């Protein structure tokens, strides 16, 4: 797969590096032969915000066979894309490439009309400006990324990592995304919106971390009763105190966190085991295959059986 990343004068090195690091790790780990290239309005060099000059940047022609085209950020003054870039992105979308706007890059995607009638996210400080400029777009500033299949946007800065890991997950499966995340020492999936910077907890080292105790126990007992009352008891906190502390620590409700972890486990079992759908539903705490299918379809947009056919590693 080929990913083309738009480079422009004034782009920060971090924004430019995120997709290259995540997708480059796919190849380095031997998961798939993915290639990431930089392109700009014309071939040559660009100058980053930090003052570095990057040479050997391709022209728009390198996007002709790209499977994904990414605008990793955008010019702070919010100017609209040049006609050449507009044509390039629209042409790529027309032939079936996925168009991705990371952070402020969502504003460029909005300006060319690919987000009309859809929901989008961008950096929180640009959310209101995007909402005012594009009335046909529903701006959701409370999520880390939004994937419509053909078009994707992400929240600010580090959320670009979450979005790129999501792309790895949808193309190669949960195990591949986890492998890349472990290598980069980042969380494979973060809870909460872009204001949250909390990753999945590690095993607690002391008894002074009640939320860490509860989440670690939950991860080891996904098939058990993981009600708020049960988790609060594990944490030795009252229900009210536990819910408040959990939100502060994890950036989501206990129920949403448990559902996401159960879905993570279901995906891994669908990819790497020969267990039946009924057995996976029980092992992950969904109780029955109907509940598993409902949650799976809502969160992932696929049935468990379809997901298994796509990502099964046991055959």
CATH number of the structural domain spanning residue 289? 1.10.10.60
Question: Do residues 230 and 101 both lie within one domain?
Answer: no
Query: What's the whole-number mean pLDDT along residues 141-162?
Result: 89
Question: Do residues 92 and 231 both lie within one domain?
Answer: no
User: What is the reported pLDDT for 285?
Assistant: 95
Share of the chain above pLDDT 70, in %: 93
User: What is the reported pLDDT for 208?
Assistant: 60
Query: What's the whole-number mean pLDDT along residues 192-213?
Result: 50
**Residue with the larger pLDDT of the pair 297 and 22:** 22
Above 90 in pLDDT, residue 233? yes
The pTM of this model reads: 0.68
Question: Do residues 109 and 66 both lie within one domain?
Answer: yes
The answer to whether position 295 is within a domain reads: yes
User: What is the reported pLDDT for 190?
Assistant: 65
Question: Do residues 233 and 280 both lie within one domain?
Answer: no
pLDDT band at 5 (very low <50, low <70, confident <90, very high): very high
Question: Do residues 243 and 292 both lie within one domain?
Answer: no
pLDDT band at 189 (very low <50, low <70, confident <90, very high): low
pLDDT-wise least confident of 118-122, 140-144, 214-218: 140-144
- Domain of residue 75 covers 2-182
User: What is the reported pLDDT for 148?
Assistant: 87
The answer to whether position 303 is within a domain reads: yes
Summarised one tens digit per residue, pLDDT across range 241-250 is 999 988 877 7
> Which stretches within 134-253 are classed as H helix?
159-172, 174-184, 210-220, 228-235, 239-250
User: What is the reported pLDDT for 130?
Assistant: 93
Question: Do residues 246 and 259 both lie within one domain?
Answer: no
pLDDT band at 218 (very low <50, low <70, confident <90, very high): very high
Query: What's the whole-number mean pLDDT along residues 41-57?
Result: 94
The answer to whether position 197 is within a domain reads: no
Question: Do residues 37 and 122 both lie within one domain?
Answer: yes
Above 60 in pLDDT, residue 303? yes
Number of domains in the chain: 3
User: What is the reported pLDDT for 51?
Assistant: 95
Domain closes at, from 251, 273, 303: 251
User: What is the reported pLDDT for 268?
Assistant: 87
Question: Do residues 49 and 174 both lie within one domain?
Answer: yes
Question: Do residues 150 and 21 both lie within one domain?
Answer: yes
pLDDT band at 315 (very low <50, low <70, confident <90, very high): low
Q: Are 32 and 1 in contact (CB under 8 A)?
A: yes
The answer to whether position 191 is within a domain reads: no
């Amino acid at each position: 797969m080929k990913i083309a990343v738009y480079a422009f004068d004034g782009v920060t090195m971090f924004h430019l590096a995120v997709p290259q690091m995540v997708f480059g790790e796919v190849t380095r780990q031997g998961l798939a032969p993915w290639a990431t290239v930089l392109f700009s309005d014309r071939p040559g060099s660009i100058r980053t915000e930090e003052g570095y000059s990057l040479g050997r940047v391709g022209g728009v022609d390198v996007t002709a066979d790209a499977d994904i085209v990414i605008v990793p950020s955008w010019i702070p003054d919010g100017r609209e894309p040049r006609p050449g870039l507009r044509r390039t992105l629209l042409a790529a979308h027309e032939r079936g490439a996925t168009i991705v706007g990371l952070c402020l890059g969502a504003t460029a995607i909005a300006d060319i009309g690919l987000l009309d009638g859809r929901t989008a996210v961008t950096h929180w400080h640009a959310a209101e400006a995007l909402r005012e400029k594009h009335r046909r777009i529903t701006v959701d500033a409370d999520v880390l990324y939004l994937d419509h299949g053909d078009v994707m946007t992400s929240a600010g800065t580090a959320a670009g990592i979450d979005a790129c890991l999501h792309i790895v997950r949808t193309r190669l499966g949960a195990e591949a995304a986890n492998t890349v995340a472990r290598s980069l020492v980042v969380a494979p999936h973060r809870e909460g919106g872009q204001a949250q910077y909390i990753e999945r907890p590690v095993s607690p080292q002391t008894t002074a971390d009640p939320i860490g105790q509860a989440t670690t126990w939950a991860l080891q007992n996904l098939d058990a009763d993981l009600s708020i009352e049960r988790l609060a008891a594990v944490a030795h906190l009252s229900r009210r105190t536990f819910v408040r502390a959990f939100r502060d620590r994890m950036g989501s409700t206990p129920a949403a966190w448990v559902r996401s972890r159960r879905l993570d486990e279901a995906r891994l079992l669908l990819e790497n085991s020969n267990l039946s759908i009924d057995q996976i539903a029980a092992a992950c705490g969904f109780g029955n295959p109907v509940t598993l299918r409902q949650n799976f379809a809502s969160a992932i947009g696929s049935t468990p059986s379809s997901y298994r056919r796509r990502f099964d590693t046991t055959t």
